[in-house]
Chain A
Amino acid sequence: MFHGLLLQDISVGSGEKFFVRGVSLVVPAGELHILVGPNGAGKSSLLKALAGHPDYAVSAGEFFLDGENLLEMTPEERSRCGLFLAFQSPVPLPGVALGRMLQVARQERQPKGAPIDVRAFYGELCNAMESLGMERSWATRFVNDGISGGESKRCELLQILLLHPKYLLLDELDSGLDMDAVNLVAETLEKLRRAGTGILCVTHRQSLLQTLNPDRIHILREGRLLCSGGMELAEELHVRGFQGF
């Protein structure tokens, strides 16, 4: 069986409103791919559709994760299969503590009726927070409530470390970050890639291409995949810009 994300001829939207048309690409386990394109190219819509957002229905095509057909699943089932979407601007959840949410998310991954080891979980949570330079008080803060752009990215990374997804969909994970934070993101992603995680990272910033050192680059414009290639595409993009493709 092939280990990876497999998008076959995916279209999102219908009628007058198409976000993405006929996108096919493969992200094997342990590789980092970048989907780059100008604003409005359909990058975010594609990621939301893959994660099962009700407002972004996949209207044609197929989507597999390690051979499993994800399009037939609810968003929570896709998540439990190992798919994680890191949001560009995560929605605030006032009243919901970060630690509590993660605990429930872990509980929901257990077979019916099996409890999680709460102490072990909180130990793991503390370690993960430390590795991201987050104070312990984050565990009781409300998810995405009243936090800066940089902080919200850290929270997304923390969730990745705790939920152990097999594949990541990252939506502009670098936006609003200073150079130190971008390096922290890059380091964390590199560790995950080496550990076998497959990563599809969406950005409109060409500068990230160098920092992340991707295995492959895909260029999306006006909802269509224009071309895919290795690092040489980054060079070409730098010279010609998106309009050159």
Chain B
Amino acid sequence: MAVDIDFSSSSGDFSYATTYAHDAGCGLGEETVRYISKLKEEPEWLLQFRLRALKVFERMDLPKWAPLKKAQLDISKLHCYLSQGERPKTDWEDVPQEVKQTFDRLGIPEKERKFFAGVEAQFDSEMAYANLQESLRAQGVIFVNSTEGLLHYEKCFRPFFGTVIPVGDNLFSALNGAVFSGGSFIYVPEGVKVKQPLQAYFRINAERFGQFERTLIIIDKDAEVTYLEGCTAPKFDSDTLHAAVVEIVALPGAKMRYITVQNWSNNVYNLVTKRAIAHENAEMRWIDCNIGSKLTMKYPAVILEGEGASGSVLSISVARDGQRQDTGARMIHRASNTRSRIVAKSLSIGDGDSTYRGTISMGRDVENCRSYSRCDAILMDDKSISRTFPHIDCRNDRCIVEHEAAVSKISSEQLFYLRQRGIGESQALSLIVNGFFDELIREFPMEYGVELKRLIEMEMDAGAGRKREGARNVC
């Protein structure tokens, strides 16, 4: 079962001329929100939700530590909604030509046949394709886009929607609340274990566009699922915005693994809020891999709500010239006997900037909780930057919190050793960096791991052959 997945940064760099039937125009105001809501034939409560979110967005600002100013987003120049007015198809043959061409070129239909239990493919604002294996449908698994989720499965959707990440959580969640479109709604019924992953692929095709998908996943008692998302966009001269919200509810005993391979082109601002709530004995794992984008701000979180719940975040990030990966994790221990684990590894190349922000919080009333975090960074060049901001808030003495961090530079002695064995410089760098990421890559489904290694190797090729001295670490 080998899937050939090309993660290379250039493979997504193409776009086809597309005519859009629906365009919310440039900028964001009440009329934009009403336009989207009307087009989607949404109920009144959702329109009110959106309008409330818009108000929050208008008066909210970014926190002081953010590596971005609100004004930089310049939404007045962006299209917040673009679609062709077609419902998602269940057969690739029915998907509009240029959209199908795009996904063919990205290899999505082929991968679906070989590897996935279900696939959704979003093109700009709406899903163009959605399909789920018949056997899973028969077991009651729901895998649809967010609009369909709220229209057809309101009873299941509405009680959870916006509860894990409230509208006012942060600037981007408010923005998303106002204009969200697309993203997945998934429900896995009690006891159903979905063996093959479900995949969503997010594609930005249009220039000066903002993609705001919203995903809600509910895993019922003792159910299991793996969800995998990939993202690419062509490289435009102007900036593009991607502000998604992902909410996950893992009910008692549920197991969820959420894997992201983010490879946006480097004109994309990737500002994403991801949070899961894990009830009794539930297991939530985020595997987060950030290779592309101009700036990423993303700190996947797990609220450990029920006793015995566990959460983990494994994070890989690569920041090349001109890129900033501001990533991390948050673990909120709200029940006793909960466990969390964070392993974050970053590589900074050229003037690339990798930042880790972590929050571990344990209240006064919990006991016997454990949290372990480790952040390792490699700096490749003299201009490379790595920052670590761990925040630990433990209000009792009955829990154990561990944090480790290490920054290293590939030394000239290490390079010389490998070169003396006949290994060329870029191969030598690859060996060291792949070794560095190896323990995390092993946690990916195998086919993805192989491709991820190849992608990192390609990033290394571009990083080879420069001077490596006196890199900075800001801690």
Contacts and interface: CB of A to CB of B under 8 A. Distances in A.
A142 interface: yes
Contacts of A105: 421-423
Nearest to B408: A94
Given A76-B420, A94-B435, A105-B423, 16 more contacts: A52-B419, A53-B416, A54-B412, A54-B416, A75-B419, A76-B423, A76-B424, A85-B420, A90-B417, A91-B414, A96-B431, A100-B431, A101-B418, A143-B417, A163-B421, A163-B422
11 contacts: A51-B416, A76-B420, A76-B425, A80-B422, A95-B432, A95-B436, A96-B435, A101-B418, A104-B427, A104-B431, A163-B422
A151 interface: no
B134 interface: no
Contacts of A75: 416, 419-420
Contact of A93 (B422, B425, B435, B438): B435
B413 interface: yes
B434 interface: yes
B421 A142 contact: no
A193 interface: no
- Top 5 A-B pairs, shortest CB-CB distance: A95-B435, A79-B422, A75-B419, A91-B413, A105-B421
Chain B interface size range: 20 to 34
Contacts of B422: 76, 79-80, 105, 108-109, 163
B411 interface: yes
A126 interface: no
Given A95-B438, A96-B431, A55 B412 contact: yes
A93 B422 CA distance: 16
Interface string A73-107: 01110111000110100110111110011101100
Interface residues of A, dominant DSSP:
mixed
A55 to B, nearest CB: 7
Interface in A4-54: 51-54
Contacts of B412: 54-55
Contacts of B434: 95
Given A75-B416, A97-B435, A91 B421 contact: no
A203 interface: no
Contacts of B438: 95
Interface residues of A, number: 32
Contacts of A55: 412
A109 B427 CA distance: 13
B406 to A, nearest CB: 10
A114 to B, nearest CB: 15
A76 B419 contact: yes
Q: B412, B417, B421: which has the most chain A beta carbons within 10 Å?
A: B421
Given A95-B434, A101-B431, A142-B435, A79 B420 contact: yes
A6 to B, nearest CB: 20
Nearest to A93: B414
Given A96-B432, A101-B431, A91 B424 contact: no
B428 to A, nearest CB: 8
A108 B416 contact: no
Nearest to A80: B422
A87 to B, nearest CB: 7
Contact of B420 (A51, A96, A97): A51
A101 B436 contact: no
Given A101-B431, A108-B424, A108-B427, A93 B419 contact: no
Interface in A50-70: 51-55
